């Protein structure tokens, strides 16, 4: 996070090389540190304080990026849930209306002399139709 070459997308998977890149980016002389097998040993406390200071300067930016990502994830998931709920409601309403009209057509209103008049009430994408029976 201190060096653009190592964060957020490191150019190499070698951790020792990435650490060396960070130390070179901060212009820390090679005699100020030594690499162990799993640690970096720093000779001068001023070097350690410099590393901590740089890290503290970058921390608010990184926290902001994390918060932004989490808020985006929560907003998208809430939107997807609402969208799915609306689809289910539209399906239920559409089928309820269809079954109601089918029931009325087959059971109540049809007589041998009845006439069915269908009029367009709304010209939206699906359209609303009104059925009227004239006996």
Q: CA nearest 1: which of 70, 54, 66, 67?
A: 54
Q: Which of the 8 DSSP states describes residue 107?
A: I
Is it the case that residue 119 has pLDDT exceeding 60?
Answer: yes
For residue 111, being part of any structural domain is answered with yes
User: Which residue range(s) make up the domain with 122?
Assistant: 44-134
Is it the case that residue 114 has pLDDT exceeding 70?
Answer: no
For residue 129, being part of any structural domain is answered with yes
For residue 18, being part of any structural domain is answered with no
Beta strand segments in the chain, E: 33-35, 40-42, 115-122, 128-134
pTM for the model stands at: 0.55
Residue 74: predicted pLDDT: 96
For residue 82, being part of any structural domain is answered with yes
Question: What is the Cα gyration radius of the chain?
Answer: 35
From its phi and psi, is residue 127 left (phi > 0), alpha (psi between -120 and 50) or beta?
Answer: left
Q: Which two tokens mark 124?
A: 């939206």
Q: At 38, phi and psi to the nearest 5?
A: -125, -5
Segment 64-92, tens digit of pLDDT? 999 999 999 999 999 999 999 999 888 88
For residue 11, being part of any structural domain is answered with no
Is it the case that residue 109 has pLDDT exceeding 80?
Answer: no
Segment 13-47, tens digit of pLDDT? 888 999 999 999 999 999 999 999 999 999 999 99
Q: Which of the 8 DSSP states describes residue 112?
A: T
For residue 70, being part of any structural domain is answered with yes
Q: CB neighbours of 114 closer than 8 A, spacing ≥ 6?
A: 133, 134, 135
Residue 92: predicted pLDDT: 84
The count of domains in the chain is 1
């Amino acid at each position: 996070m201190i060096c653009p070459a190592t964060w957020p997308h490191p150019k190499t998977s070698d951790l020792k090389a990435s650490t060396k890149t960070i130390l070179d980016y901060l212009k820390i002389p090679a005699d100020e540190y030594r690499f162990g097998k799993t640690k970096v040993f720093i000779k001068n406390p001023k070097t350690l304080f410099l590393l901590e200071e740089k890290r503290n300067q970058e921390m608010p930016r990184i926290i902001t990026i994390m918060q932004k990502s989490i808020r985006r994830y929560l907003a998208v998931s809430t939107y997807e849930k609402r969208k799915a709920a609306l689809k289910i409601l539209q399906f239920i309403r559409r089928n309820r209306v269809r079954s109601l009209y089918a029931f009325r057509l087959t059971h109540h209103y049809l007589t041998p002399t009845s006439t069915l008049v269908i009029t367009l009430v709304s010209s939206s994408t699906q359209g609303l139709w009104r059925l009227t029976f004239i006996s």
